Chains A and B, each alone.
Chain A
Amino acid sequence: MRMIDLYIQEVTRRLPEKSREDIALELRSTIEDMLPDDYSEEDVKPVLEKMGNPAILASGYLDRPMHLIGPRYFDVYINLLKLILPIAAVISLISLIANTIISYSGEEAVLNVVLDVIGLGIWGIISTGIQVFFWVTVVFAIIERTDHKNSQTPLTACFKEWTPDDLNNISYIPKEKAISKVEVFLGLLWTAIWASGYFNAASLLGVYEKGSNGLEFVTPTFNQEVLLSYWLLVVVVIGLEIAVDMYKLTTGQWTRKIAVLNTVMHGVSSIVFIVIISNNQLFNPAFVTYMTDLFSITGDFDNWFSWGAISAFLLFAVVDVYQGFRKANIKK
């Protein structure tokens, strides 16, 4: 008797309140039907074994699924995770790096800061990843439980069932023309690094010397006031870079439009770079003297340095612009 009660309780506690009594009554009459008139506990065991695991029996009575995310939503779920996870990871990394550079006071050794950023970066990516994974999963589990349509047909990314017309929304991307997400994210990362560097050049860029507490900041490279007077131009360049990167990310492949945009971006940033670097007030006089002494350069250090930097910058820009057009023109 006791075992039957326990069995029925095990089933009904998993069921909604209103159906419990009725199902309990039916189960009891069924179980007793299967037993001889005068039964002992020993007789009950094989009967209950026949009835099977109470959890399985209960789940049969419930319409609720026994999975977190079923076949209808699984594909959308995985695709969304693949889309969101890397974006979230990159955003957390970029904000960490920007934050570190901005709050850098110049007291700590650069190497330590870099190691810190790597450690925190890994931790940040993991914890952001777990957060994103958790919330996306929760949302899908709720959708799965609130969608009462009986259809099991998997859904596409637009939360509709697949039709051949969906193929029109996909562009065929040959490998040679593809812009990888990594490329875009590295671009964004680079923008974040140089932009934070620009606004904190006073405490970051300069000459370091070995001192009693490791590396010590001796003198900044730039004349901060002169450097920062160009902030509006720099913000324009930052905006352009981010816009081009975003456009690359959404298009996913090199097109003429992107190649042209890329050229405009490089053109504008080259002009801004040349304008800033050719200002003869730009370099901190202390830095110039230091360098001239160090390399015992005869002649004009600023000039020499400026021309080197401009050539390197332009060379890089031209190569990138050329590659852009080359990839955009690949016919496939």
Chain B
Amino acid sequence: MSTLLNSLTTELRRGTLTLAVLSQLRTPQYGYSLVQLLEQCGISIEQSTLYPLLRRLEKQELVTSSWDTTESRPRRYYVLTPYGIDIYQQLKKEWEKTSQELSLLLKGEDNG
């Protein structure tokens, strides 16, 4: 039973990952700093999902990346493009709408 619950939870969260990642990329972040930021907010993300996801977002022109070699080890920083900011805002609205609708539904169940 718990494996079913696990897979359902993963499925439920998968769609929100892109939004979570986009929300943290308004300021430039490198891979590990992004993981830490997300973990601080309680969102754990598989590393094997995150790095490919960042590449995909770059391919979709939502983020740009650049190497920073000024520090002790080179790091690849990702940041939202103007197009990315636009998409992020719209996605955020969608999410807020969805979560409102859903909480209404779930509340209705509690009362009934």
B residues less than 8 Å from A60 (CB atoms)? 48-49, 51-53
From known contacts A29-B75, A30-B31, infer whether A50 and B47 are also in contact, taking CB-CB under 8 Å. yes
B residues less than 8 Å from A52 (CB atoms)? 46-48
A residues less than 8 Å from B31 (CB atoms)? 26, 29-30, 33
Q: Name the one of A25, A32, A57 contacting B48, with C-beta atoms under 8 angstroms.
A: A57
Q: Shortest beta-carbon distance, B106 to chain A, in Å? A: 29
B residues less than 8 Å from A30 (CB atoms)? 30-32, 47, 51
B residues less than 8 Å from A23 (CB atoms)? 55
| Total inter-chain residue pairs, C-beta < 8 Å | 47
Q: Is the CB of B52 within 8 A of A61?
A: yes
Residue of A nearest to B59 (CB): A63
Count residues of chain B with CB under 8 A from any CB of chain A. Answer: 17
Q: Is A105 an interface residue when CB atoms closer than 8 A count as contact?
A: no
Residue of A nearest to B74 (CB): A29
B residues less than 8 Å from A25 (CB atoms)? 67, 74, 76
Q: Name the one of B32, B48, B49 contacting A34, with C-beta atoms under 8 angstroms.
A: B32
Q: Is the CB of B48 within 8 A of A51?
A: yes
Q: Shortest beta-carbon distance, A33 to chain B, in Å? A: 4
Q: Is B73 an interface residue when CB atoms closer than 8 A count as contact?
A: yes
Q: Is the CB of B48 within 8 A of A29?
A: no
B residues less than 8 Å from A34 (CB atoms)? 32
- In terms of DSSP, what is the predominant structure of the interface of chain A? helix
Tell me the complex Cα distance, A242–B47, Å: 63
B residues less than 8 Å from A102 (CB atoms)? none
Q: Is A56 an interface residue when CB atoms closer than 8 A count as contact?
A: yes
From known contacts A29-B76, A30-B31, infer whether A61 and B46 are also in contact, taking CB-CB under 8 Å. no
Q: Is A272 an interface residue when CB atoms closer than 8 A count as contact?
A: no
Q: Is A76 an interface residue when CB atoms closer than 8 A count as contact?
A: no
Q: Is A53 an interface residue when CB atoms closer than 8 A count as contact?
A: yes
Q: Is the CB of A26 within 8 A of B47?
A: no
Chain A, interface residues (CB within 8 Å), range: 10 to 19
Within 14-59 of B, Cβ neighbours of A (below 8 Å) are at 30-33, 46-49, 51-53, 55
Residue of B nearest to A53 (CB): B48
Q: Is A91 an interface residue when CB atoms closer than 8 A count as contact?
A: no
Q: Is the CB of A33 within 8 A of B32?
A: yes
Residue of B nearest to A30 (CB): B31
Residue of B nearest to A34 (CB): B32
Q: Is the CB of B51 within 8 A of A56?
A: no
Tell me the complex Cα distance, A50–B31, Å: 14
A residues less than 8 Å from B46 (CB atoms)? 52
Q: Is A193 an interface residue when CB atoms closer than 8 A count as contact?
A: no
Q: Is A96 an interface residue when CB atoms closer than 8 A count as contact?
A: no
Q: Is the CB of B48 within 8 A of A26?
A: no
Q: Shortest beta-carbon distance, B100 to chain A, in Å? A: 28
Q: Name the one of B33, B49, B51, B73 contacting A27, with C-beta atoms under 8 angstroms.
A: B51
Q: Name the one of A26, A50, A51, A56 contacting B76, with C-beta atoms under 8 angstroms.
A: A26
Tell me the complex Cα distance, A211–B41, Å: 94
A residues less than 8 Å from B73 (CB atoms)? 29, 32-33
Of the candidates B51, B53, B74, the one having the most CB atoms from chain A within 10 angstroms of its own CB is B51
Residue of A nearest to B52 (CB): A60
Tell me the complex Cα distance, A300–B32, Å: 103
Listed in ascending order, the chain B residues whose CB lies under 8 Å from chain A are 30-33, 46-49, 51-53, 55, 67, 73-76
Query: Considering the complex of A and B, which 8 residue pairs feature the smallest CB-CB distances, nearest first?
Result: A60-B52, A33-B32, A52-B48, A57-B48, A30-B31, A26-B76, A61-B52, A51-B47
11 further contact pairs, Cβ within 8 A, besides A32-B73, A51-B48, A61-B55: A25-B67, A25-B76, A26-B76, A33-B73, A34-B32, A52-B48, A56-B48, A57-B52, A60-B53, A61-B51, A61-B52
23 A-B pairs (CB sep. < 8 Å): A26-B31, A26-B76, A29-B31, A29-B73, A29-B75, A29-B76, A30-B30, A30-B51, A32-B73, A33-B30, A33-B33, A33-B73, A33-B75, A34-B32, A51-B47, A51-B48, A52-B48, A53-B48, A57-B47, A60-B49, A60-B51, A60-B52, A61-B55
